[in-house]
């Protein structure tokens, strides 16, 4: 498995090989020396944007099971525009989910956050600000954001989240340090719906259907109208195919709260 450690080792091996090759065959072109750093940087970028790679830190992205069971997760709420509609659908179908919330969206939406909790859904940490430059923060500032989010959730629900999903799904060494120091469980997915760019509910539903398999974790957003439109059809499809929908903490057998 390619991780930061194995990438570092591979870089050293490649540099040694190039150095040895240059000494044995001086006629080798100079640009051969560029290959190791280019490949290394490419690996770092790939690892950062691919949470399932476990490149910087192991993330829980699915359950190992042959049983037809799946978890549904929502990012970026709570929002008055669509979160209540999604909760209505889940309540009607008696389906549990996980909501990875942004801390600064809770103020003014405390009643909505309490509803998520009292209706049996998991509340996860999706940072306090979901800042565009969050991935450039130092580990200390990242951890402060995560704890600030926890404080807000605890003040409203008395629960302190332990599950954390990185903004944009991006990881790096600083975030890995913050996650470890804060005692969080990093959560990813293995079905990325791309509901933030889907053109219509049919396109969204077809994309999701292609990824459905036992133990899957589905990423959706409770900020999107198309998600509200597709959700009832998705739940009907899952039940028709014999799938059971579990809360993510039960599916992965992990504690949801500290």
Burial class (CB in 10 A: 0-12, 13-18, 19+), 250: middle
**Active-site residue 221, yes or no?**
yes
Structure tokens at 49: 């944007």
**Active-site residue 75, yes or no?**
yes
Q: Which of 124, 117, 154 is nearest to 256 (CA)?
A: 124
d(CA 178, CA 189): 20
Burial class (CB in 10 A: 0-12, 13-18, 19+), 160: middle
How many other C-beta atoms can be found within 10 angstroms of the C-beta atom of residue 181? Answer: 13
Helix or strand holding residue 258 (H, E): none
The position carrying tokens 């989010």 is: 149
Catalytic residue (one of 82, 150, 221, 222):
221
Q: Which of 175, 211, 169 is nearest to 191 (CA)?
A: 211
Catalytic residue (one of 75, 150, 195, 222):
75
Q: Three-state SS for 21?
A: helix
Q: DSSP letter at 254?
A: -
User: How many degrees, rounded to 5, is the angle at CA 40 between CA 35 and CA 46?
Assistant: 125
Dihedral sign of CA atoms 57, 60, 66, 70 in order? negative
108: phi > 0 → left, psi -120 to 50 → alpha, else beta; which? left
Catalytic sites, residue numbers: 75, 221
């Amino acid at each position: 498995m390619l991780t930061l450690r194995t990438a570092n080792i591979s870089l050293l091996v490649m540099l040694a090989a190039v150095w040895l090759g240059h000494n044995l065959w001086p006629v080798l072109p100079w640009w051969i020396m560029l290959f190791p750093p280019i490949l290394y940087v490419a690996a770092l970028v790939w690892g950062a944007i691919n949470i399932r790679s476990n490149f910087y830190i192991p993330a829980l992205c699915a359950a190992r099971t042959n049983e037809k069971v799946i978890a549904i997760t929502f990012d970026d709420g709570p929002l008055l525009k669509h979160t209540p509609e999604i909760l209505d659908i889940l309540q009607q179908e008696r389906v549990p989910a996980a909501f990875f919330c942004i801390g600064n969206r809770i103020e003014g939406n405390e009643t909505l956050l309490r509803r998520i909790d009292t209706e049996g859904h998991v509340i996860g940490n999706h940072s306090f600000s979901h800042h565009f430059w969050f991935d450039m923060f130092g580990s200390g500032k990242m951890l402060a954001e995560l704890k600030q989010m926890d404080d807000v959730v605890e003040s409203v629900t008395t629960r302190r989240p332990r599950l954390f999903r990185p903004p944009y799904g991006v990881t790096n060494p600083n975030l890995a340090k913050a996650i470890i120091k804060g005692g969080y469980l990093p959560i990813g997915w293995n079905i990325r719906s791309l509901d933030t760019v889907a053109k219509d509910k049919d396109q969204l539903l077809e994309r999701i259907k292609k990824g459905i398999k036992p133990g899957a974790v589905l990423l959706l957003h409770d900020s999107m109208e198309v998600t509200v439109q597709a959700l009832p059809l998705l739940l009907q499809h899952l039940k028709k195919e014999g799938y059971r929908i579990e809360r993510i903490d039960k599916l992965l057998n992990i504690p949801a709260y500290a």
